[in-house]
Structure 1
Amino acid sequence: MKKIKYSEITPEKIYNNRRSFIKSISIGAGSIAISSLPFSGNAASDKIDNKTSYKDITTYNNYYEFGTSKNDPYKNSQNFKTNPWNISIEGEVESPINLSMEEISEMFLSEERVHRLRCVEGWSMVIPWMGFSLSELLSKVTPTSKAKFVEFDSVYDPDQMKGQRYPVLKWPYKEGLRIDEAMHPLTTVVTGLYGKKLPNQNGAPLRIFVPWKYGFKSAKAIVKIKLVEKMPTSSWMRASPREYGFYSNVNPYVDHPRWSQATERVIGNDIFAPRVKTLMFNGYEEEVASLYTDMDLKKYF
């Protein structure tokens, strides 16, 4: 299978033609089925045609490094420089490494993964990401037995990121996952979306996406991944531990202290469209519930 280089992600016109072709041959017996694509959990109930538009995905964003309004990331990130870019992987590993984006593109195959992004604020969108499993990247460094958690550090560059000039959060942004969450095949290193390079406002050049967790768990513009023995304190935990726990799994039965999480508004729908029911683990319960066996998910929220 040909590897798709970061610099060669499919142009939009070709991508759309390819998707039309796959749809056209998915009807007959023995043909390629849509369900055979990386399209899991509750996203499978959203037909391919129900993906959120590229415009909505790239102009309605939470990315406080570029501002706190939903359209600030698009407006303020266009000149953000992502080349050259390196990511170090270190900590409790046998073989720490430092990789450029070019090296990552040569080493790993990017594939389409259509997943729902659920924001803690109560909105959602279905996004065709391009990327690969984080476990593939972590396997290159061989985690030691002491590696219990994975910590992600985003870039700190207030000259380019005007939001970092203000103490909205403690910069740089930090996130974390338990090691088994990080190694789950659904946890994705994102390099693009809609067959294009990842836009700056969506976390370029490289971000993490964890489909069963709220969107803020998916660190953007990552420069360091560190495997550690103790649970890291993520940026939102530090800012408001009452509101944001370490796990941050999508759970309609655990309300945010200031609003309900039982329903969500799908971005791109008519503004008068009814809100839809939020599904446990964002619809990925079958795939990931075993990670939390015997855990009190109200206590470990």
Structure 2
Amino acid sequence: MVWLNEAQHYLDAGGGLGERIAAALHSLLTDSAREPVLVLGTLWPEYATAFTTLPQPGGHDPHPQVRELLAGRQTPLPDSFDTTAINRAKALAENGDEQLAHALDHAADGHLTQFLAGAPELLRRYDTASPAARAVLHAAMDARRLGVGLHLPVNFLALAAEDYLTDHELNQASDNWLEQALADLGKTVYGNLAPPCDASACALRAANPAFKQTRRWRHPPTGWRTTSNNMGATSADYSAPRPPSGTAYTITSPTLTGSPAGADGCRIPLE
């Protein structure tokens, strides 16, 4: 058995090596004297398309051996688990598979494979993010936890994120620090996961593992009062002292008020 995880790393190796690997694998699979043989690999659709697309007449053909290897040997996989597969996964989780149980709790729309593949790298990106990118994430995370809508305007993030940066970090930041931060945050990882941002709008979803696991609650910085007022919150007081344990914020759009746990409204408990 030959296992090729992320097969593009082998089949697209430079200097002709990828073609030689493909030819060797094809020879292995078609040599009856060497049976039984199983070659199993994973390949993202965009790479499969690039490898199997015929060149223009007279054009350069960079992957003839890879195309021959893949011909009739691809098995498309669905993007998400169906109900039957989800139920099987739940049974495994109940029998002690903690990683699968965690994925079931956090993955959206049955995308367990994407979560298992991408979540660790996404959390690593959070840990190694630039100060500006982390400030944008923190501003968005606190906004979501305080009941701000799912789609966060860039001008809100630009104003709010500055209060998560130190004076030194602000002095070191470039003039286009926000654009750079959003570009960094928008890059996908394994499983096509990323905090989904672009230069015109930012939709940071609470289901994203980085938002659920990376930070315990912290009271937003003082500048949130100004930022929230600029966004239309007329009586929010984000800079008030931290309420005692057992108190929750009640969101009464667009106002935030301290209220005892158990009061009506959308409550965000302070941990």
Under TM normalisation by the shorter chain, which class is it?
Answer: under 0.3
TM, length-normalised to structure 1: 0.21
Higher helix proportion (structure 1 or 2): 2
> Which has the larger Rg?
2
Higher share of residues assigned strand: 1
